[in-house]
Structure 1
Amino acid sequence: MAFEDLKIEVSRIADKIEDSATSKMTAICELLRERIEYYDWVGFYMANHEKRTLHLEAFAGEPTDHTVIPFGKGICGQVAESNANFVVPDVKAQDNYIACSITVKSEIVIPLFKDGKNIGQIDIDSSHVDPFTKDDEDFLEFVNVQVAALL
Protein backbone atom coordinates (compact mmCIF):
# COMPACT_ATOMS: atom_id res chain seq x y z
CA MET A 1 0.00 0.00 0.00
CA ALA A 2 1.40 3.35 -1.01
CA PHE A 3 0.09 6.42 0.77
CA GLU A 4 1.08 8.61 -2.20
CA ASP A 5 -1.24 6.61 -4.49
CA LEU A 6 -4.04 6.84 -1.94
CA LYS A 7 -3.60 10.60 -1.70
CA ILE A 8 -4.45 10.84 -5.40
CA GLU A 9 -7.56 8.71 -4.92
CA VAL A 10 -8.68 10.68 -1.85
CA SER A 11 -8.29 13.92 -3.83
CA ARG A 12 -10.37 12.48 -6.70
CA ILE A 13 -13.18 11.61 -4.29
CA ALA A 14 -13.02 15.05 -2.69
CA ASP A 15 -13.14 16.76 -6.10
CA LYS A 16 -16.39 15.06 -7.23
CA ILE A 17 -18.80 17.94 -7.74
CA GLU A 18 -22.02 15.94 -7.73
CA ASP A 19 -21.57 14.20 -4.37
CA SER A 20 -22.47 15.60 -0.93
CA ALA A 21 -19.81 16.10 1.73
CA THR A 22 -21.16 13.14 3.73
CA SER A 23 -21.14 10.80 0.74
CA LYS A 24 -17.57 11.87 -0.07
CA MET A 25 -16.53 11.24 3.53
CA THR A 26 -18.15 7.79 3.41
CA ALA A 27 -16.36 7.01 0.13
CA ILE A 28 -13.04 8.04 1.70
CA CYS A 29 -13.73 5.79 4.71
CA GLU A 30 -14.51 2.87 2.40
CA LEU A 31 -11.39 3.49 0.30
CA LEU A 32 -9.10 3.55 3.34
CA ARG A 33 -10.68 0.47 4.89
CA GLU A 34 -10.45 -1.48 1.64
CA ARG A 35 -6.92 -0.47 0.70
CA ILE A 36 -5.06 -0.41 4.03
CA GLU A 37 -4.94 -3.90 5.44
CA TYR A 38 -4.79 -2.86 9.09
CA TYR A 39 -7.56 -0.21 8.92
CA ASP A 40 -10.51 -2.30 10.10
CA TRP A 41 -12.91 0.53 10.97
CA VAL A 42 -12.69 4.08 9.62
CA GLY A 43 -14.98 6.91 10.65
CA PHE A 44 -15.40 10.66 10.84
CA TYR A 45 -16.82 12.19 14.00
CA MET A 46 -17.91 15.82 13.86
CA ALA A 47 -17.91 18.10 16.89
CA ASN A 48 -20.86 19.90 18.43
CA HIS A 49 -19.04 22.41 20.62
CA GLU A 50 -22.22 23.71 22.28
CA LYS A 51 -23.15 20.25 23.57
CA ARG A 52 -19.49 19.14 23.87
CA THR A 53 -20.18 15.97 21.92
CA LEU A 54 -18.86 14.19 18.83
CA HIS A 55 -21.32 12.76 16.30
CA LEU A 56 -20.57 9.96 13.85
CA GLU A 57 -20.98 11.45 10.37
CA ALA A 58 -19.58 8.76 8.07
CA PHE A 59 -17.88 5.38 8.49
CA ALA A 60 -16.86 2.09 6.91
CA GLY A 61 -16.79 -1.13 8.89
CA GLU A 62 -19.05 -2.75 11.43
CA PRO A 63 -21.82 -0.50 12.76
CA THR A 64 -21.10 0.96 16.20
CA ASP A 65 -23.27 1.96 19.14
CA HIS A 66 -20.87 4.86 19.70
CA THR A 67 -22.57 7.41 17.46
CA VAL A 68 -22.35 10.19 20.06
CA ILE A 69 -19.25 10.58 22.26
CA PRO A 70 -18.88 13.22 24.99
CA PHE A 71 -15.76 15.38 24.90
CA GLY A 72 -13.17 13.85 27.20
CA LYS A 73 -14.53 10.29 26.96
CA GLY A 74 -12.47 7.67 25.17
CA ILE A 75 -9.70 8.37 22.71
CA CYS A 76 -11.97 10.42 20.41
CA GLY A 77 -13.27 12.52 23.29
CA GLN A 78 -9.73 13.19 24.48
CA VAL A 79 -8.70 14.38 21.00
CA ALA A 80 -11.71 16.73 20.95
CA GLU A 81 -10.21 18.44 23.99
CA SER A 82 -6.47 18.15 23.29
CA ASN A 83 -6.55 19.05 19.56
CA ALA A 84 -3.63 16.64 19.14
CA ASN A 85 -3.09 13.36 17.31
CA PHE A 86 -3.53 10.33 19.54
CA VAL A 87 -1.99 6.97 18.62
CA VAL A 88 -2.84 4.03 20.87
CA PRO A 89 -0.56 1.07 20.09
CA ASP A 90 -2.49 -1.24 22.46
CA VAL A 91 -5.97 -0.27 23.67
CA LYS A 92 -5.64 -2.58 26.69
CA ALA A 93 -3.10 -0.12 28.11
CA GLN A 94 -5.56 2.82 28.03
CA ASP A 95 -7.72 3.59 31.06
CA ASN A 96 -10.07 5.94 29.17
CA TYR A 97 -10.73 3.65 26.20
CA ILE A 98 -14.27 3.02 24.92
CA ALA A 99 -14.42 -0.55 23.59
CA CYS A 100 -16.23 -0.64 20.26
CA SER A 101 -15.41 -4.27 19.49
CA ILE A 102 -13.49 -7.06 21.17
CA THR A 103 -11.37 -7.34 18.01
CA VAL A 104 -9.94 -3.79 18.30
CA LYS A 105 -6.32 -3.86 19.43
CA SER A 106 -5.15 -0.34 18.49
CA GLU A 107 -6.52 3.04 17.46
CA ILE A 108 -5.41 6.28 15.85
CA VAL A 109 -7.39 9.52 16.01
CA ILE A 110 -6.39 12.65 14.08
CA PRO A 111 -8.21 15.96 14.66
CA LEU A 112 -9.83 17.71 11.71
CA PHE A 113 -9.37 21.48 11.62
CA LYS A 114 -11.18 24.13 9.62
CA ASP A 115 -10.11 27.76 9.96
CA GLY A 116 -7.99 26.79 12.96
CA LYS A 117 -10.88 25.19 14.87
CA ASN A 118 -11.13 21.47 15.70
CA ILE A 119 -14.41 20.54 14.00
CA GLY A 120 -14.06 16.77 14.15
CA GLN A 121 -11.70 13.88 13.61
CA ILE A 122 -10.91 10.75 11.70
CA ASP A 123 -10.87 7.62 13.85
CA ILE A 124 -9.25 4.34 12.79
CA ASP A 125 -9.53 1.05 14.67
CA SER A 126 -7.25 -1.89 13.93
CA SER A 127 -7.32 -5.55 14.92
CA HIS A 128 -3.49 -5.45 14.94
CA VAL A 129 -1.37 -4.33 17.87
CA ASP A 130 0.83 -1.30 17.13
CA PRO A 131 0.41 -1.01 13.33
CA PHE A 132 0.36 2.80 13.07
CA THR A 133 3.44 4.80 12.12
CA LYS A 134 4.30 8.45 11.54
CA ASP A 135 3.44 7.80 7.88
CA ASP A 136 -0.13 6.96 8.93
CA GLU A 137 -0.33 10.20 10.93
CA ASP A 138 0.97 12.27 8.02
CA PHE A 139 -1.38 10.57 5.56
CA LEU A 140 -4.43 11.02 7.79
CA GLU A 141 -3.57 14.68 8.33
CA PHE A 142 -3.61 15.02 4.51
CA VAL A 143 -6.99 13.26 4.39
CA ASN A 144 -8.38 15.67 6.97
CA VAL A 145 -7.20 18.69 4.98
CA GLN A 146 -9.11 17.32 1.98
CA VAL A 147 -12.22 16.71 4.09
CA ALA A 148 -12.06 20.12 5.74
CA ALA A 149 -12.19 21.70 2.28
CA LEU A 150 -15.53 19.93 1.70
CA LEU A 151 -17.16 21.43 4.78
Structure 2
Amino acid sequence: MQKQDFYQSLVKQAQALISGERNVIANMANLSALLFTSLEDINWAGFYLVDSPDELVLGPFQGNPACIRIPVGKGVCGTAAHAKETQLVEDVHAFDGHIACDAASNSEIVIPVFKNGEVFAVLDIDSPSLARFDEADRDGLQALVRCFELTLS
Protein backbone atom coordinates (compact mmCIF):
# COMPACT_ATOMS: atom_id res chain seq x y z
CA MET A 1 0.00 0.00 0.00
CA GLN A 2 1.33 3.42 -0.90
CA LYS A 3 1.63 6.04 1.83
CA GLN A 4 -1.06 8.25 0.30
CA ASP A 5 -3.56 5.36 0.36
CA PHE A 6 -2.45 4.43 3.88
CA TYR A 7 -3.08 7.95 5.16
CA GLN A 8 -6.44 8.23 3.39
CA SER A 9 -7.47 5.04 5.22
CA LEU A 10 -6.03 6.36 8.50
CA VAL A 11 -7.98 9.63 8.19
CA LYS A 12 -11.19 7.66 7.60
CA GLN A 13 -10.47 5.60 10.73
CA ALA A 14 -9.81 8.80 12.68
CA GLN A 15 -13.08 10.33 11.47
CA ALA A 16 -14.96 7.22 12.57
CA LEU A 17 -13.35 7.38 16.02
CA ILE A 18 -13.98 11.05 16.74
CA SER A 19 -17.08 11.86 14.69
CA GLY A 20 -19.76 13.21 16.98
CA GLU A 21 -17.53 13.23 20.06
CA ARG A 22 -16.86 16.70 21.48
CA ASN A 23 -14.61 15.75 24.39
CA VAL A 24 -11.18 16.88 23.27
CA ILE A 25 -9.24 14.66 25.69
CA ALA A 26 -11.13 11.55 24.59
CA ASN A 27 -10.48 12.38 20.94
CA MET A 28 -6.79 13.07 21.54
CA ALA A 29 -6.46 9.79 23.45
CA ASN A 30 -8.07 7.80 20.64
CA LEU A 31 -6.04 9.54 17.94
CA SER A 32 -2.82 8.92 19.88
CA ALA A 33 -3.67 5.22 20.18
CA LEU A 34 -4.66 5.00 16.50
CA LEU A 35 -1.38 6.57 15.38
CA PHE A 36 0.77 4.55 17.78
CA THR A 37 -0.74 1.25 16.66
CA SER A 38 -0.96 2.11 12.94
CA LEU A 39 2.37 3.79 12.15
CA GLU A 40 5.47 1.67 11.77
CA ASP A 41 8.82 2.51 13.33
CA ILE A 42 7.64 5.06 15.89
CA ASN A 43 8.19 5.15 19.63
CA TRP A 44 5.89 8.00 20.72
CA ALA A 45 2.68 9.62 19.47
CA GLY A 46 0.68 12.21 21.31
CA PHE A 47 -0.30 15.76 21.98
CA TYR A 48 1.00 18.77 23.83
CA LEU A 49 -1.62 21.41 24.62
CA VAL A 50 -1.06 25.15 24.84
CA ASP A 51 -1.24 25.81 28.58
CA SER A 52 -0.28 29.50 28.45
CA PRO A 53 1.13 31.82 25.80
CA ASP A 54 4.60 30.64 26.82
CA GLU A 55 4.17 26.94 27.56
CA LEU A 56 2.90 23.59 26.28
CA VAL A 57 1.76 20.86 28.66
CA LEU A 58 1.67 17.12 28.05
CA GLY A 59 -1.65 15.76 26.82
CA PRO A 60 -2.86 12.29 25.84
CA PHE A 61 -0.13 10.11 24.33
CA GLN A 62 1.14 6.59 23.72
CA GLY A 63 4.75 5.65 24.45
CA ASN A 64 7.30 6.15 27.20
CA PRO A 65 6.83 8.84 29.86
CA ALA A 66 7.53 12.27 28.40
CA CYS A 67 8.51 15.80 29.32
CA ILE A 68 5.54 17.44 31.04
CA ARG A 69 6.15 21.07 30.07
CA ILE A 70 7.84 22.55 27.00
CA PRO A 71 8.42 26.28 26.52
CA VAL A 72 6.87 27.72 23.35
CA GLY A 73 9.74 28.36 20.94
CA LYS A 74 11.96 25.64 22.42
CA GLY A 75 12.54 22.16 21.02
CA VAL A 76 10.66 20.77 18.04
CA CYS A 77 7.23 20.97 19.71
CA GLY A 78 7.74 24.49 20.99
CA THR A 79 9.09 25.59 17.61
CA ALA A 80 6.03 24.18 15.81
CA ALA A 81 3.74 26.03 18.22
CA HIS A 82 5.67 29.29 17.88
CA ALA A 83 6.10 29.14 14.08
CA LYS A 84 2.54 27.83 13.59
CA GLU A 85 3.82 25.33 11.04
CA THR A 86 4.74 21.68 10.80
CA GLN A 87 8.27 20.72 11.78
CA LEU A 88 9.71 17.67 10.01
CA VAL A 89 13.09 16.84 11.55
CA GLU A 90 15.24 14.07 10.05
CA ASP A 91 17.77 14.13 12.91
CA VAL A 92 16.63 15.62 16.22
CA HIS A 93 20.22 15.71 17.47
CA ALA A 94 21.03 18.26 14.75
CA PHE A 95 18.00 20.41 15.68
CA ASP A 96 19.15 23.48 17.59
CA GLY A 97 17.61 23.41 21.06
CA HIS A 98 16.15 19.91 20.80
CA ILE A 99 14.63 18.71 24.07
CA ALA A 100 15.49 15.03 24.59
CA CYS A 101 12.50 13.58 26.43
CA ASP A 102 13.45 10.10 25.15
CA ALA A 103 17.07 9.41 24.21
CA ALA A 104 15.86 6.68 21.80
CA SER A 105 14.16 9.22 19.52
CA ASN A 106 16.13 10.23 16.43
CA SER A 107 13.56 11.83 14.12
CA GLU A 108 10.34 13.70 14.75
CA ILE A 109 7.36 15.34 13.13
CA VAL A 110 5.22 17.92 14.91
CA ILE A 111 2.00 19.34 13.47
CA PRO A 112 0.22 22.34 15.03
CA VAL A 113 -3.48 21.95 15.83
CA PHE A 114 -5.53 25.11 15.37
CA LYS A 115 -8.73 26.24 17.08
CA ASN A 116 -10.26 29.57 16.09
CA GLY A 117 -7.12 30.47 14.15
CA GLU A 118 -4.76 29.98 17.10
CA VAL A 119 -2.49 27.09 18.01
CA PHE A 120 -4.42 24.96 20.50
CA ALA A 121 -2.04 21.98 20.65
CA VAL A 122 0.62 20.13 18.68
CA LEU A 123 0.64 16.53 17.51
CA ASP A 124 4.09 15.05 18.16
CA ILE A 125 5.34 11.77 16.69
CA ASP A 126 8.84 10.41 17.35
CA SER A 127 10.83 7.60 15.76
CA PRO A 128 14.00 5.77 16.79
CA SER A 129 15.10 5.87 13.11
CA LEU A 130 16.79 8.80 11.41
CA ALA A 131 14.77 10.42 8.59
CA ARG A 132 11.69 8.28 9.37
CA PHE A 133 9.23 10.95 8.19
CA ASP A 134 8.91 12.42 4.71
CA GLU A 135 6.60 14.77 2.79
CA ALA A 136 3.96 12.03 2.36
CA ASP A 137 3.89 11.55 6.16
CA ARG A 138 3.63 15.31 6.61
CA ASP A 139 0.73 15.61 4.18
CA GLY A 140 -1.10 12.59 5.60
CA LEU A 141 -0.68 13.63 9.22
CA GLN A 142 -1.71 17.21 8.45
CA ALA A 143 -4.90 15.81 6.87
CA LEU A 144 -5.56 13.81 10.04
CA VAL A 145 -5.03 16.93 12.17
CA ARG A 146 -7.42 18.94 9.96
CA CYS A 147 -10.03 16.22 10.60
CA PHE A 148 -9.45 16.59 14.35
CA GLU A 149 -9.67 20.39 14.14
CA LEU A 150 -13.24 20.11 12.84
CA THR A 151 -14.27 18.72 16.26
CA LEU A 152 -12.80 21.78 18.01
CA SER A 153 -14.98 24.49 16.46
Q: 1:24 aligns with which of 12, 23, 27?
A: 27
Which residue does 1:125 correspond to in 2?
Answer: 126
Matched, 1:54 2:56: yes
Q: Post-superposition shift, 1:103?
A: 0.9
Structure 2: distance between partners of 1:49 and 1:101: 24
Structure 1: distance between partners of 2:59 and 2:147: 16
Q: Is the 8 A contact 1:106 1:125 kept in 2?
A: yes
TM superposition score normalised by structure 2: 0.89
Structure 2: distance between partners of 1:119 and 1:20: 14
Q: Is the 8 A contact 2:11 2:147 kept in 1?
A: no
Query: Structure 1 37/55 Cα, relative in aligned 2: closer, same or farther at 3 Å?
Result: same
Question: Which consecutive aligned stretches of 4+ in structure 1 deviate over 6 angstroms post-superposition?
Answer: none
Q: Is the 8 A contact 2:44 2:62 kept in 1?
A: yes
Q: Is the 8 A contact 1:32 1:39 kept in 2?
A: no
Secondary structure, aligned partner of 2:150: helix
Q: 1:38 aligns with which of 32, 36, 41?
A: 41
Which residue does 1:103 correspond to in 2?
Answer: 104
> Unaligned 5+ residue runs, structure 2?
none
Cα root mean square deviation, aligned? 1.6
Matched, 1:145 2:146: yes
Which residue does 2:75 correspond to in 1?
Answer: 74
Which residue does 1:135 correspond to in 2?
Answer: 136
Q: 1:11 aligns with which of 10, 15, 31?
A: 15
Structure 1: distance between partners of 2:43 and 2:151: 24
Q: Post-superposition shift, 1:32?
A: 0.8
Question: How many corresponding residue pairs?
Answer: 148
Structure 1: distance between partners of 2:94 and 2:116: 34
Structure 2: distance between partners of 1:8 and 1:139: 11
Secondary structure, aligned partner of 1:147: helix
> Unaligned 5+ residue runs, structure 1?
none
Structure 2: distance between partners of 1:16 and 1:127: 35
